[in-house]
Structure 1
């Protein structure tokens, strides 16, 4: 078992955290569950710049729709840890997909319900055009679906108006919205800015291939209604998101279920919303 890094040990001591389990390691971060002053907390050390950017955004949200941040310095963040028993993935798989979807939409809308931060807020956000650069660069591909997704992405990005633009979590799905006991809140934002519809696209492709495909039509209708979006707009942004997911998965010997789901969801949405 790997031991906590020196940085993690320093933060644990400096911020008064008592470990409540072993450290966890991912390609992008090091995490340690703990307790501080009787409160469950999670200490996180970012290994990549994307996580640093997300931590700054999480802090800026101030616990409104997102996990509350107690401390942040350099690449380290201390936040309240979710300990509630409810799980959106389990809900979606057990006949409560509509309820899980509503929670995800409500959380995203809570996050969107703030003005864009200023430079003084210290939050760096990535514009969606930059986020989509790999898909836009793949427009000349022989893959018809990627061609369509790239064309849609360009159209959507060009047509975005200032009224559409908001701060985006960038990765809203069933594993990134957690039960904090008396409320649900998001973790692990990407820190993007652009059309608000983008934050709902990933919901349609999760938490499993079966859930995504079995509930696709109902989800499009429900999310469109709950988020006040035109269904075609939601579908188009989702196809663009699926294309980006597929581009990122290129070169993998065995496609992940995420890639399979992205292609299936995109194909079905294009069929559902085919232009006359």
Structure 2
């Protein structure tokens, strides 16, 4: 097996410690097992591995697929369940899975050009809005998905980490995020199944539809919550572009018939939570996302 990227290895160790180390050691055997189980020819992984090992593969009849492997965790299980419920509508199809081993075999989207390659952000935002419309759907009463309220508990961990304070994070923004989560959750519209991480790198060009999503988190909440991830992408430069973000919010509010104030509110609250998640998981690289929270707060006034 080829050498794994150092950043990918470091991410597994930062997130999972000894479990991550064991998983990395067993990864070659796991790939071989997938090849035997589903008669796959597995190719070298895609560039830019981050949280999971993702590689193109072909089946015995030549069908192009993607093999995705990760340390077994609730997030991967939620992704599997979300893909099952979506059943290919607006998103890649799930072909096989094994939640206990952290394995997904999914449809390969071709040509697979990422939305992040679009130079026209207004057009990219319109494509993202249409993708959101296709994905949002009612959830069964006994659904297995986390809720946006459960995700909000990450801010409680932030407080616990800093003995009730906010550590390196601006106290005003943390307090605002806590308040916004409380207020917005209490006044939310009817919840639906959200992608949960729908941004420019998770929307790809495809043959059976012009654009389809990949990598759903699978979270239950009101539609306006979905927009937060898009505002945090595809680069720090664009994320912190004041004029661009103001236009995005206006465009999405109109295209999706959503309240502009709620989009800003969720954007601020999620930016703070996302910054905390970066700190919690890696201990670094959270500052630009916190700067976005400040920018959105200023635009919302």
- Shorter-chain TM-score category? 0.7 to 0.9
CA distance in 1, matches of 2:179, 2:158: 10
CA distance in 1, matches of 2:234, 2:278: 18
Deviation at 1:244, TM superposition (A): 0.3
**Alignment check: 8 A CA contact 1:126 1:193 kept:** yes
Between stretches 21-30 and 65-74, larger displacement belongs to: 21-30
CA distance in 1, matches of 2:112, 2:220: 32
CA 1:248–1:73 in structure 2 vs 1: closer, same or farther (change >3 Å)? Answer: closer
CA distance in 2, matches of 1:27, 1:130: 24
**Alignment check: 8 A CA contact 1:59 1:69 kept:** yes
Pick one of 43, 53, 57 that aligns with 1:34. Answer: 57
Deviation at 1:31, TM superposition (A): 2.7
CA 1:25–1:261 in structure 2 vs 1: closer, same or farther (change >3 Å)? Answer: closer
In the TM superposition, what whole-angstrom CA distance separates every residue of 1:168-227 from its partner, at most 9, and x where no partner exists? 111111111112234211111112111211111111111012112321011000111111
Which structure has greater helix proportion? Answer: 2
Structure 2 residue 173 is matched with structure 1 residue 145:
yes
Q: Residue 44 of structure 1 corresponds to which residue in structure 2?
A: 68
CA distance in 2, matches of 1:176, 1:149: 26
Q: Residue 127 of structure 1 corresponds to which residue in structure 2?
A: 147
Structure 2 residue 205 is matched with structure 1 residue 185:
no
Q: Residue 104 of structure 1 corresponds to which residue in structure 2?
A: 128
Q: Residue 233 of structure 1 corresponds to which residue in structure 2?
A: 262
Q: Residue 12 of structure 2 corresponds to which residue in structure 1?
A: none
Q: What SS does the aligned partner of 1:98 have? A: helix
Q: Residue 64 of structure 1 corresponds to which residue in structure 2?
A: 89
**Alignment check: 8 A CA contact 1:224 1:234 kept:** yes
Pick one of 20, 30, 33 that aligns with 1:7. Answer: 30
Q: Residue 271 of structure 2 corresponds to which residue in structure 1?
A: 242
Unaligned runs of 5+ in 2: 5-26
Q: CA RMSD in A?
A: 2.5
CA distance in 1, matches of 2:126, 2:267: 17
TM-score, length-normalised on structure 1? 0.85
Pick one of 248, 252, 266 that aligns with 1:223. Answer: 252
CA 1:130–1:20 in structure 2 vs 1: closer, same or farther (change >3 Å)? Answer: same
TM-score, length-normalised on structure 2? 0.79
**Alignment check: 8 A CA contact 2:146 2:218 kept:** yes
**Alignment check: 8 A CA contact 2:114 2:202 kept:** no
Deviation at 1:242, TM superposition (A): 0.7
CA distance in 2, matches of 1:102, 1:175: 15
Structure 2 residue 193 is matched with structure 1 residue 167:
yes
Unaligned runs of 5+ in 1: none
In the TM superposition, what whole-angstrom CA distance separates every residue of 1:122-177 from its partner, at most 9, and x where no partner exists? x520011111102245465351111111111111112224x2x1111111111111
Q: Residue 269 of structure 1 corresponds to which residue in structure 2?
A: 296
**Alignment check: 8 A CA contact 2:112 2:204 kept:** no
Q: Residue 176 of structure 1 corresponds to which residue in structure 2?
A: 202
**Alignment check: 8 A CA contact 2:96 2:104 kept:** yes
What count of residue pairs does the alignment treat as equivalent?
A: 263
Q: What SS does the aligned partner of 2:135 have? A: helix
